[in-house]
Structure 1
Amino acid sequence: MAATISSSTFDFLKKLSKNNNREWFNAHKELYIQSQENVISFLEDLIKEMGEFDPELLKIDAKKSLFRIYRDTRFSKDKSPYKTNFGSSLGMGKGSQKGGYYLHLEPKKSFIAGGIYMPEPSVLKEIRKEISLYGDEFLKIINQKDFKKYFPELDQESKLVKVPQGFEKEDTMGDYLKLKNFIVIHYLSDEEVMNPKAAGKMAAIYQVMKPLNDFLNAPFL
């Protein structure tokens, strides 16, 4: 039987957000361990489902894919010691050299994502070249009916004001060349996350984003 994200896991995260301190966390460490194990079991099933269309993912260790719950507070005004979510990198992370997938579990704020987040300058340049050269192919992917249904547009949060140097100002793909990240996000309700069939449903959405990852990875194959 497929693993399901339990309500107790979200209850733990809700309590943690209200008691984000070491004393409370240490007193409720068992709740954290149970929640973490629940998420890992779910990820194992999700990876199996996703392996049907992307066999490379089967190499991923579910436990190692989880980000630490401990926050790095050195350069942050917010000194809360713990994250109030479970995040899993399925080949996607800051500075990653290739397109991948990401899962974020948090009460009322869960989402799945894919693409490349904050790639190194050399990688970003190659992706921009690919988009400039093969714009029609890129547009066909992001305008595909199912893709548009889950991902109306690429994330626009990090973007240049002008077309980057090395590209024509009038390049028809100019708006996309300005992007610093190439990621798509689909938000999930708590009910969708805790649905007994969530792993299969999420995998189906991830499969829709795979052509984007394939395109982003093409320059490096």
Structure 2
Amino acid sequence: MINKELLKFLSQLEKNNNKPWFEENKPRFKKLEEEFKDQVSGIKSLLNQHDIIEKAKVFRIYRDVRFSKDKTPFKAHRSVNWMREGKDRRGSYFMSIKPGNSVIGIGFFGPEKEDLLRIRKELEVDAQELRDIIEKPAFLKTWGTFQGEQLKTAPRNFDKTHPDIDLIRFKNFFFTKTLTDKEIQSPNFFQEVDAAFKTARPFLDYMTDVLTTDLNGESLL
């Protein structure tokens, strides 16, 4: 489970987001961070039982404030991205721990321009296979519907009256699941996260197939 002391630290950091407070509490943070990284490694081991993870990236707690109006120096959350290995396994798994607002996520948070066009072209030709995956009761129960930003109208050179324009308009293709503080402190939390990620595999496999083939289904690898 996620240590309640980590949640306590993050809550206090949000109220005291300044360098003097953080420096005073840095030994405490380092201890909690070491435990968090061990837990991230544990979830990676679970994922590797049904997927192949290249690496787990724990994001730094320090914020880059150079181009931000928000000059608070630290992130009041801890987050990690588990990246799938190889060109034939696209997409990633994500988790963010924040008191009262923890989430897990899967998919494509910022696809490159070429990938975004390829996905849209596939959906323009036939979106039913994707709908069959994301509209299954088990998937909907776990992940709900697509998150992220949409265009207000059709992308350039796409028909705004296309029957699948609701999907084509998306700029990101990912799902998130909100978690309560009670859920992330459950003794079975890591297993539940792994089970949710496993439910997402058909979606990731579908998107991988799209992004590694052309519109004729020929491999690009």
Q: Which deviations, in whole Å up to 9, do the C-alpha atoms of 1:13-62 show, x marking residues without a partner?
A: 111111110001111111111111111111111111111221x21x32x4
Report the AA paired with residue 163 of structure 1. Answer: A
Report the AA paired with residue 60 of structure 2. Answer: R
Runs of 4+ in 1 over 4 A off after TM superposition: none
Report the AA paired with residue 74 of structure 1. Answer: R
- For 1:177, which of 168, 182, 188 is the aligned residue? 168
1:219: Cα distance to partner?
Answer: 2.7
CA RMSD of aligned residues (A): 1.6
1:196: Cα distance to partner?
Answer: 1.6
106-115 vs 133-142, which moves further: 133-142
1:11 aligns with 2:2: no
Give 1:77-88 correspondences, 5 Å limit: 77-88=69-80
CA contact under 8 A between 2:10 and 2:98: conserved in structure 1? yes
Report the AA paired with residue 113 of structure 2. Answer: P
1:52 aligns with 2:49: yes
Alpha-carbon distance between aligned partners in 2 of 1:33 and 1:14, rounded to the nearest angstrom: 16
- For 2:208, which of 191, 203, 217 is the aligned residue? 217
1:66: Cα distance to partner?
Answer: 0.4
Partner of 2:196: 205
Alpha-carbon distance between aligned partners in 2 of 1:127 and 1:197, rounded to the nearest angstrom: 36
1:166: Cα distance to partner?
Answer: 3.0
* Structure 2 runs not aligned, ≥5 long: 213-221
CA contact under 8 A between 1:5 and 1:38: conserved in structure 2? no
Partner of 2:35: 38
CA contact under 8 A between 2:142 and 2:177: conserved in structure 1? yes
Q: Residue 22 of structure 2: SS of its match in structure 1?
A: helix
CA contact under 8 A between 2:18 and 2:72: conserved in structure 1? yes
Partner of 2:155: 164
1:133: Cα distance to partner?
Answer: 2.5
Task: Please report the TM-score for the alignment, with normalisation by the length of structure 2.
Answer: 0.89
1:23 aligns with 2:17: no
1:81: Cα distance to partner?
Answer: 0.1
* Structure 1 runs not aligned, ≥5 long: none
Alpha-carbon distance between aligned partners in 1 of 2:182 and 2:165, rounded to the nearest angstrom: 39
CA contact under 8 A between 2:119 and 2:211: conserved in structure 1? no
CA contact under 8 A between 2:91 and 2:108: conserved in structure 1? yes
CA contact under 8 A between 1:132 and 1:173: conserved in structure 2? yes
Alpha-carbon distance between aligned partners in 2 of 1:130 and 1:215, rounded to the nearest angstrom: 11
Compare the two structures and name the one with the higher helix fraction.
1
Question: How many positions carry a matched residue from both structures?
Answer: 208
Alpha-carbon distance between aligned partners in 1 of 2:126 and 2:90, rounded to the nearest angstrom: 18
Q: Residue 167 of structure 1: SS of its match in structure 2?
A: coil
